Homo-oligomer: A and B are copies of this chain.
């Protein structure tokens, strides 16, 4: 996985466990809207300070993933939900019974709710 994508995922799952300062700086780095120099200036720290903070946060976030495996679990669940959505869509096309269609639409509604919550 590309490093920045991995960092964004880790931040998405465990970012709340960082300090406010770490959260802000790390977010600015992974959102890639600002250069390291700009971020350093923004927070009044050195460029090396930004690098060190990112390395430290990477380690903190990875440690949480190694213990909780949330990204792993959610990724697998998401793939299965995607598969179910595709099969459900195909079921709806193939089926011609209005009663079954209504039931399939209920499944679609629940799937949307799961995806929203994730």
Residues of A within 8 A of B (CB): 13-14, 16-17, 64, 67-68, 70, 73, 76-77, 80-81, 83-84, 87-88, 90-91, 94-95, 97, 99-100, 103-104, 106-107, 110-111, 113-114, 117-118
Shortest CB-to-CB span from A112 to chain B, Å, is 9
Q: Which residues of B sit under 8 angstroms from A17, Cβ to Cβ?
A: 64, 67-68
Q: A99 and B94: CB pair below 8 A? A: yes
Contact of A91 among B68, B73, B100, B111 (CB under 8 A): B100
Can you list 10 residue pairs at the A/B interface with Cβ under 8 Å? A13-B68, A16-B68, A76-B113, A76-B117, A77-B117, A80-B117, A84-B84, A90-B103, A94-B99, A95-B95
Contact of A104 among B73, B91, B110 (CB under 8 A): B91
| CB closest chain-B residue, reference A13 | B68
Q: Which residues of B sit under 8 angstroms from A106, Cβ to Cβ?
A: 83, 87
Q: Which residues of B sit under 8 angstroms from A107, Cβ to Cβ?
A: 84, 87-88, 91, 107
| CB closest chain-B residue, reference A82 | B110
Q: Which residues of B sit under 8 angstroms from A103, Cβ to Cβ?
A: 87, 90-91, 94
